Amino acid sequence: MSEEISRTLSEYVLLPGYIPEELKAEGLDLSTYLTRYKLGEEESAMRINTSILSAAMQCVTGPEMSIALARLGALGVIPRSQLIESQAQMIRDVKRHKAGFVTPETVLPDASLEYVQQRMEETGYSKFPVLDPQGKLLG
């Protein structure tokens, strides 16, 4: 726990005319360190681009919220008040969207429509690349 005085957004008021015109949003750095570090070892610390964390509550943070926050440079905290298997699946779901890229769900040419429909329901995907057994894209 931090021993410093904490702040809330309501403690700050930005009034029109008090912000210099040369101050642009592109020049602001809202990043923060998420982990402690020793002086001179900043590079080894974990840093996030936006100093926002989601609440570790089931009704607030799931894979969708974590992915949305990650796209903004923030961090979604997966709640621990559920089964470990459920937590692990949430983390896998988030990691599938790593760096804005989704690992595609692929099928072989002999995949049944029933299997593809089942995968559609499970993954939420609507398109499945068809690969041959060697991994070459067929369609």
Mean pLDDT of the chain: 84
Q: How far apart are CA 57 and CA 74, in angstroms?
A: 16
For residues 61-92, one letter each, b for 16 or more C-beta atoms within 10 angstroms of the residue's C-beta and e for the rest, the string is bbbebbbebbeeebbbebbeeeeeeeeeebee
Quote the longest CA-to-CA distance of the chain: 66
* Predicted confidence band of residue 112 (pLDDT cuts 50, 70, 90): very high
Q: Give the whole-angstrom CA distance, residue 122 versus residue 56.
A: 24
Question: Does the pLDDT value for residue 52 go beyond 90?
Answer: no
Could you read off the pLDDT of 64-105 as tens digits, one per residue? 999 989 888 889 999 989 899 999 999 888 887 765 566 778
pTM above 0.75, yes or no: no
Query: What's the mean pLDDT in 57-63?
Result: 90
For 17-27, the pLDDT digits (tens) are: 777 777 777 77
Q: Estimate the crossing angle of helix 63-71 against helix 84-95, to 10 degrees.
A: 30
What is the torsion angle, in degrees rounded to the nearest 10, for the CA atoms of residue 102, residue 90, residue 88 and residue 36? 90
How high is the pLDDT of residue 123? 78
pLDDT at 124: 77
| Residue 61: per-residue pLDDT | 92
Report the distance separating Cα 52 and Cα 68, nearest Å: 12
